[in-house]
Chains A and B, each alone.
Chain A
């Protein structure tokens, strides 16, 4: 991350917090519908998305949750945008590392989340600490330094959103009292504390005033002229502060920046660049002002009418050329569907029922469990397909999507195994893989947008589809084999192990391992071809490549040893658990090393989780294996 240059963080926060007046208005979100607001198209990190997605991503990033006090993220964002003064005391800022608190001057007992108000006294030390941390190599940063940077980033995001509509709110620093200046600017009696928009509307007068002052040293500057000079300085400061900040909702088709001359501006930039002189610019700014005022006045009709006019204008100018309105609607549906969270709940229910059915033997429980699993799978598949349509790209393009996809393949494999074995083991294993992997995927949503744009080297649908999807399918085979391996060892610890079930699970392990070997090999080979196409070498000993190679070698060892009778079904079960651990290391562990071409997308906390998983699973393996051997021997 980068630390903002120019105006200091503390000053920036202070400037924002003093805008909008001291009058705290009652909440408007209970009376205003946000239907039009969610459809607002916004450009964020190169991607055009509905405002609804920005709200979810921002709130997740800041608070770790997708809702605030039971209300949707969009409701929270609407308050931040239109009634910012109401959100200062919202407890949204998570602090994951309690040791940071005393370092920034907070000595009260740690709480999971803090408000902007709680942190207002800590901004100066936080900024200092974050600047120091930014100068440290990311591998050498302490947990406190990492957390300082992340908290800084969360606050920066919040302040960016907080300021995005403040151009239409009266600003304390834009108070004009001098009669000469007021006359010159043609202000009405009520316009004492004016807003940036008021000045933008008088940009010609201010420009001609600046021109009259330039070109010579003025010795007799009147108080009125001094007042206007102060305002021009303040205008420059405000423009600088809001350049490149959210919300970029106004596209310009004649700009020279970005791909194909496409450029999106935030309202501050539109006002600063004389956008009011343009018909479309004036129409859209006016519509936004109307919406903001209506929101603050609890006027549902006015709010939606304003946004509707804005959306219609933007879509009329840019829809179809710069974004597809259909995909925007689809993304809103995807957000509402929350497919992966719901699917994980369904998988959870299915696993509970199927395990109960094993013990009780009730057929209806098993059938209900199968139904829940199938429903979860349909929802899971739907979420995956929606992402592919929205992004217009293959199913796996980032680390988040690897978890989603591997979970999907694992559930599918579980169902295929069940189709042949009919002992519930495949379904339970698939369901467990689904829950576990979707849970980890959920952690990755805290990083922000999960549909971010692809960097140049990944910007190829063919190789992404072929290589990544194939190798992650191989991972899924090993995951299923590993989970069944756990069950196999537990089955052997039973007083009277069911030999039929033991044989069935052994066959399932072998089939899943073979699937894992074939797909990991194919995926690795395809990765080699892609690397050869992109970088000129088939194999480069990159840690991720090595991870895949380790999986292949280990599976080859297991299958050869079993074929040669060197290990039994018990050994295969133990080996499949080790295969699962190797997959975990190849998947996430290499990112800890921080070297190579694939060391991306790692989030703090996963390293610790991975380590615990390895330790616990190895202890499980050692204990169950020794007990099983003693029992069988």
Chain B
């Protein structure tokens, strides 16, 4: 049965070396193009348009396979090859290990599962928080003054569309989106759309909304403009209650509370060359609290989250604050396992037989 399938022209094509070579050449071209593209447009655009894309639109209208498509093609090719072309015996153990490892890597890049959550946490010495902020994803958040900030409703900004209604029954409030922009500026009291920047961290979203009380949209709506660049939340009254609306960087609730006890930056004597950056933190979780030191090359891993020393700053009064990158990567061990398999495969396949003599 297997032999029949293996000799079928379609499977021979799928498992064949020519397809492997075509896929690798395409991959190479995309890596080159993506690297050059990155120099001009930044990493985010290169990732979005090439490295993590199914389709790359050349000159905005010619569809070419994106790197994900090529990775999928190579994955299918490899799967077919290990199923139908490469014999499973001990002499090919190394070859098989290499290809299984590669399949794991390709599968990870094709399906991007599960997604990585990246955010940051900036704390002054003595401050604590269980909320980290996204780098460039925004959310529309609303709350009532009388709840004291204990009941905050949010909606991802990227999901906002003109004409859409956002219902927040707990706040007895509904919002209708009139206009919204990924990047805009305030001019003469009005919001003006602007071209989205290559670096998404430079964008400031905004929008015009109509706010209704939840008792029904028959009430007179209150028109409001919310802009990410405004320093304070927008405050307004609906039926005697004071409401706040704000477009802010998306907040992620962490399973632990982190308190910055001390930040220490050392330089080599007589120079400004940084020697180390260290944050001494106190971590509080349901199980208790403990102290940990986070430094370069020494992250803290707790409850599926990893905290890395990322940046620091000092205000005019000399108070130091530390920024920790917070990453949740459920599939973090996948590349470790895949590369280990591949390395073992390379060693087993090449060195015992070949050494430095080359294959005759």
Contacts and interface: CB of A to CB of B under 8 A. Distances in A.
Given A45-B273, A517-B346, 19 more contacts: A45-B268, A46-B273, A257-B269, A420-B355, A457-B297, A518-B343, A518-B351, A528-B339, A532-B332, A532-B335, A533-B298, A536-B325, A541-B38, A543-B39, A550-B28, A553-B31, A557-B24, A560-B20, A593-B36
Interface residues of B, number: 60
Contact of A264 (B269, B276, B342): B269
Contacts of A338: none
23 contacts: A46-B270, A264-B270, A420-B357, A455-B273, A456-B275, A459-B297, A510-B359, A511-B357, A511-B358, A514-B354, A525-B339, A532-B335, A536-B329, A537-B116, A537-B327, A538-B332, A541-B46, A546-B34, A549-B31, A550-B32, A553-B28, A560-B24, A564-B17
A476 to B, nearest CB: 13
A178 interface: no
A258 B267 contact: yes
A561 to B, nearest CB: 6
B271 A453 contact: yes
A541 B118 contact: no
Point out which of B17, B329, B355, B357 has the most chain A C-beta atoms below 10 A from its C-beta: B357
B57 to A, nearest CB: 19
A482 B194 CA distance: 50
Contacts of A507: 357-360
B285 interface: no
B327 A536 contact: yes
B308 A534 contact: yes
Contacts of B221: none
B21 interface: yes
Interface in A249-284: 257-259, 262-264
Interface string B16-38: 01101100110110011011101
Nearest to A257: B269
Contacts of B36: 593
B35 to A, nearest CB: 5
Interface of B: 17-18, 20-21, 24-25, 27-28, 31-32, 34-36, 38-39, 42-43, 46-47, 51, 116, 118, 266-271, 273-277, 296-299, 306, 308, 310, 325, 327, 329, 332, 335-336, 339, 342-343, 346-347, 350-351, 354-360
Point out which of B266, B267, B270 has the most chain A C-beta atoms below 10 A from its C-beta: B270
B17 A259 contact: no
Nearest to A47: B268
Contacts of B277: 456
Interface in A534-584: 534-541, 543, 546-547, 549-550, 553-554, 556-557, 560-561, 563-564, 566
A379 interface: no
A45 B335 contact: no
A455 B358 contact: no
Contact of A538 (B35, B270, B335, B347): B335
Contacts of B350: 514, 518
A232 B267 CA distance: 33
Nearest to B274: A456
A557 B25 contact: yes
Contacts of B346: 517-518, 521-522
Contacts of B20: 560
* 4 closest residue pairs by CB, A with B: A46-B268, A507-B358, A258-B269, A46-B271
B267 A460 contact: no
Contacts of B343: 518, 521-522, 525
B273 A453 contact: yes
Contacts of B327: 536-537
A413 B308 CA distance: 39
B269 A46 contact: yes
A419 interface: yes
Nearest to B52: A541
Contacts of B35: 541, 543, 546-547, 590, 593
B263 to A, nearest CB: 13
Contacts of B298: 533
B299 A536 contact: yes
B135 to A, nearest CB: 12
Contacts of B266: 258-259
Contacts of B276: 456, 459
Interface of A: 43-47, 244, 248, 257-259, 262-264, 413, 416-417, 419-421, 452-453, 455-457, 459-460, 463, 503, 506-511, 514-515, 517-518, 521-522, 525, 528-530, 532-541, 543, 546-547, 549-550, 553-554, 556-557, 560-561, 563-564, 566, 590, 593-596
B267 A528 contact: no
A508 B357 CA distance: 7
Nearest to B335: A538
A545 to B, nearest CB: 9
B299 A533 contact: yes
Contact of B21 (A263, A537, A560): A560
B225 to A, nearest CB: 35
A524 to B, nearest CB: 8
A536 B273 contact: no
Nearest to B42: A595
Nearest to B38: A595
Contacts of A506: 358
A259 B268 contact: yes
A566 B17 CA distance: 9
A456 B296 contact: yes
A228 to B, nearest CB: 33
Contacts of B299: 533-534, 536
A549 B51 CA distance: 13
Contacts of A537: 116, 118, 327, 329
A538 B36 CA distance: 21
A244 B266 CA distance: 18
A535 B308 contact: yes
Given A528-B339, A529-B336, A533-B299, A511 B270 contact: no
B25 A45 contact: no
A565 B352 CA distance: 23
A195 to B, nearest CB: 25
B303 to A, nearest CB: 15
Nearest to A517: B346
Contacts of A413: 356
A446 B275 CA distance: 24
A419 B335 CA distance: 37
Given A453-B275, A534-B296, A510 B358 contact: yes
A536 B118 contact: yes
A393 B20 CA distance: 42
Nearest to A592: B39
Contact of B267 (A46, A420, A560): A46
Contacts of A550: 28, 31-32
B348 to A, nearest CB: 11
Nearest to B278: A456
Contact of A45 (B32, B271, B297, B347): B271
Contact of B269 (A43, A421, A518): A43
B39 A508 contact: no
A522 B340 CA distance: 9
B269 A420 contact: no
B318 to A, nearest CB: 14
Given A460-B297, A507-B360, A528-B339, A258 B270 contact: yes
Nearest to A542: B43
A1 to B, nearest CB: 13
Given A420-B355, A507-B358, A514-B354, A554 B269 contact: no
Contacts of B351: 518
Contacts of B357: 420-421, 507, 511
A304 to B, nearest CB: 27
Contacts of A540: 43
Given A46-B273, A521-B342, A595-B39, A541 B34 contact: yes
